Structures are given as structure tokens and as C-alpha cells.
Amino acid sequence: KAGVTQTPRYLIKTRGQQVTLSCSPISGHRSVSWYQQTPGQGLQFLFEYFSETQRNKGNFPGRFSGRQFSNSRSEMNVSTLELGDSALYLCASSYRETNTEAFFGQGTRLTVV
């Protein structure tokens, strides 16, 4: 069974640009969550999607948005990038209906210069 796949693995962007990250969950998993990981703040929840609906959102500015497609794949978008957005962005998938075991992808390392 393939794991959670995130693309791209690494990304370098300039301040003010926008970026789109992709996450393909484990087959059969309908919930996809996104997290930002930085040395200072640790792992922080961005948002969660289930069956194409955003069910929960963390305390991040509106520049961070996402969506989920009918095949459960999810994308996350960050507009008007700031230096502080440099982080490891992790995606996790779970079946969600009966348990909360969440499995993480390898992450996308975003560097904003």
C-alpha cells in the first residue's frame, strides 16, 4: 500500500510569490490534514479536509488556503509569500471515520528568500 505522497519535496520561492503544494493520501483515506513545522513553533495545524469539505482550520492568515478533490488528493496554496513562511509543510491522511491514526508524508521543504 503506497504511503502519503507529497510534491514537490523542495521548493525555493521569492517573497511575494505564491506556491501550491500537493498531497496524495493513502488509498481509501478520505481525510487530509496539513501542518506547518518550524524549529520555533513545532508542528502547527493548518487545516483539514474530508470529502472535499474543509472541516477545521488553524490560526493561520487567509494567505494559506487549500482544497480537496473528489479523489481525496489535496492541494495547499500560500499567496504573497513571506520569509516567515519558510518551513516544512507536512500532509497527513487518515480514514477518519473510525479512528484517528494519521499517517504523514515526507513533507515539502519550502524556503522563501
**Contact footprint for another protein (CB under 8 A):** 4, 31, 33, 35, 42-45, 48, 50, 55-56, 58, 88, 90, 92, 96, 99-107, 109
Smallest separation (angstroms) from another protein to the CB of 32? 9
Cα 34 to Cα 24: distance, rounded to the nearest angstrom: 12
Smallest separation (angstroms) from another protein to the CB of 16? 27
Residue with cell 488553524: 58
Nearer to another protein, 14 or 28 (CB): 28
Smallest separation (angstroms) from another protein to the CB of 109? 8
Q: Mapping DSSP to helix (H, G, I), strand (E, B) and coil, where does residue 8 land?
A: coil
Which burial class, exposed, middle or buried, applies to 66 when counting CB atoms under 10 A from its CB (0-12, 13-18, 19+)? buried
